[in-house]
């Protein structure tokens, strides 16, 4: 019976597929390596541990920072600082708290981005309002310049007409004084024909002066847009 079992084992050993065996070995090796790479227990680290032993015990770190004789390794559960190749500091990491902090930072960043976007929108709206105000002011200035030019032209016309009317009044007044002087001379000489003629002229000029004196020219005013 024992011989048969031994022969069966020998036969099973001889008929074992070498490809399957190799696959199983590779899978087992991957599991071991994966366990080493993800292992990061602070209990495996002590102060004074050398760098080679640190990496051998805890596997590949998730992050490395080097500066001069100082090196910082990071694993999911701890951060280890080395100086001159030896562990000088061990800091444990609470993965759950770190995820919570990361989530809070993400929320804070989103809020900050929202505030910035809101501020940019408000600033853009303010810039649009300023631009609209500037355009409105420019349009008003253009209308104002036109109205001002029209007012100046009307004012110059008014001045010319007023000056001409004053000159006409002065001329009539001078003619009336001259006629009065001539009439006085004609009376002194007893020249009746000249007296009647001068009286008619004097009456006509006096009436004309009254009419001219009643004429008024309105001063133009500025018409604002």
Tokens standing for residue 14: 């001889």
Q: Any idea what the Cα angle at residue 215 is, between residues 210 and 220, rounded to 5°?
A: 160
Q: For position 99, what pLDDT does the model report? A: 81
Radius of gyration of the chain (CA): 58
Would residue 85 be called left, alpha or beta, if left means φ above 0 and alpha means ψ between -120 and 50 degrees?
left
Residue 3's CB: how many other CB atoms inside 10 A?
7
pLDDT (0 to 100) of residue 93? 83
- pLDDT by residue for the chain (225 residues), tens only, comes to 444 443 443 444 444 455 544 444 444 444 433 444 444 455 578 999 999 999 999 889 999 999 999 999 999 889 999 999 999 999 988 877 878 888 899 999 998 999 999 999 999 999 999 999 999 999 999 999 999 999 999 999 999 999 999 999 999 999 999 999 999 999 999 898 999 999 999 999 999 999 989 988 888 898 888
Given this model, what pLDDT does residue 223 score? 86
What stretches of the chain show up as alpha helix (H) in DSSP? 2-15, 18-38, 51-58, 95-189, 192-214
pLDDT at 134: 93
Cα–Cα dist 83/70, whole Å: 5
Tokens 């292992």 map to which residue?
A: 39
pLDDT of amino acid 18: 52
CA 9 to each of CA 5, 22, 25: distance values in angstroms, whole numbers, following the listed order: 6, 20, 21
Q: Which two tokens stand for residue 81?
A: 């600082």
**Angle, vertex CA 186, rays to CA 181 and CA 191, nearest 5:** 165
Residues 67-97 as b/e (b if ≥16 CB within 10 A, e otherwise) read eeeebbbbbebbbbebeeeebeeeeeeeeee
Supply the pTM of this predicted model. Answer: 0.45
* Bridge-based pairing state of the strands 63-67 and 86-92: unpaired
Answer yes or no: are the C-beta atoms of 220 and 153 closer than 8 Å. Answer: no
């Amino acid at each position: 019976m024992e011989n048969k079992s031994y022969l069966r084992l020998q036969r099973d050993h001889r008929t074992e597929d070498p490809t399957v065996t190799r696959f199983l070995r590779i899978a087992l090796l991957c599991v071991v390596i994966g366990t080493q790479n993800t292992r990061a227990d602070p209990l495996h680290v002590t102060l004074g541990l050398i760098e080679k032993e640190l990496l051998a015990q805890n596997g590949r770190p998730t992050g490395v920072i080097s500066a001069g004789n100082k090196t910082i390794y990071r694993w999911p559960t701890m951060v280890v600082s080395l100086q001159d190749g030896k562990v000088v500091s061990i800091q444990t990491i609470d993965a759950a708290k770190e995820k919570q902090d990361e989530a809070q930072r993400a929320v804070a960043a989103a809020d900050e981005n929202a505030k910035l976007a809101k501020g940019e929108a408000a600033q853009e709206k303010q810039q649009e309002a300023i631009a609209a105000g500037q355009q409105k002011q420019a349009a008003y200035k253009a209308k104002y310049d036109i109205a001002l030019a029209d007012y100046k032209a009307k004012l110059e016309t008014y001045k010319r007409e007023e000056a001409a009317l004053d000159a006409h009044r002065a001329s009539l007044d001078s003619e009336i004084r001259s006629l009065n002087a001539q009439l006085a001379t004609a009376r002194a000489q007893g020249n009746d024909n000249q007296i009647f003629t001068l009286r008619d002229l004097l009456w006509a000029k006096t009436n004309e002066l009254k009419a001219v004196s009643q004429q008024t020219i309105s001063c133009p005013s500025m018409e604002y847009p």
